[in-house]
Amino acid sequence: MIRNSTERYGLVSKLLHSLIAFSIIGLIGLGWWMVGLSYYDSWYHKGLELHRAIGVCVLLLATVFAIWKVISPSPGLQKSLKPMEKVGAKVVHIVLLLSMFVVPLTGYAISTSSGNSFTFFGLFDIPSVMAITDAIRDLAISLHYYIAYGLIAVILLHAGAAFKHQFIDKKGTLKRMF
């Protein structure tokens, strides 16, 4: 089944979910590791190049994911969820979707703030749209940092809720996705 049904996620949604999830988890790990490196460490620049390229991939995948959600809407929430669980699930999904755009876009703003391009896996350059002021760059840095850390909490909440519904509540939640 390629498309989502009213009860289960289709192949495209499952693939996009997995690619985005693994990419974001990898970016979080890479970003966390890079924070401990000095600017002069050779791995800092290699790590930053990889972080930027994967971030562009997440932005592209998130765009495809958002379009796919319009073409093939997600199955409804499980009817057995409590009202507050339904509200929580909707809020978490909105925050996750927004974060998939805001974090890469702020990363792009930081990376191109001086007006310079950056490389995409050494294949071609991602151009800068325009140079930005130091104040806007500093805002982008803060947003990137705090939203990324907030995203960690939301991911843990999202995964924790899925495991709770699957293993404690026995609602078969993970069967819908995998």
Amino acid letter for position 23: S
3 lies in some domain: no
149 lies in some domain: yes
65 lies in some domain: yes
Domain tally for the chain? 1
- DSSP 8-state symbol, 167: I
pTM attached to this predicted model: 0.93
By CB atoms closer than 10 A (0-12, 13-18, 19+), residue 144 is buried
125 lies in some domain: yes
DSSP per-residue codes, 11-36: HHHHHHHHHHHHHHHHHHHHHHHHHT
6 lies in some domain: no
Which residues span the domain enclosing 113?
A: 11-177
Q: Could you read off the pLDDT tens digit of each residue along the chain, which spans 178 residues?
A: 999 999 899 999 999 999 999 999 999 999 999 999 998 998 999 999 999 999 999 999 999 999 999 999 999 998 889 999 999 999 999 999 999 999 999 999 999 999 999 999 999 999 999 999 999 999 999 999 999 999 999 999 999 999 999 999 888 888 887 7
84 lies in some domain: yes
Cα–chain-centroid distance for residue 65?
Answer: 11
Query: Both ends of the chain: CA-CA distance in Å?
Result: 12
31 lies in some domain: yes
Largest CA distance in the chain: 54
167 lies in some domain: yes
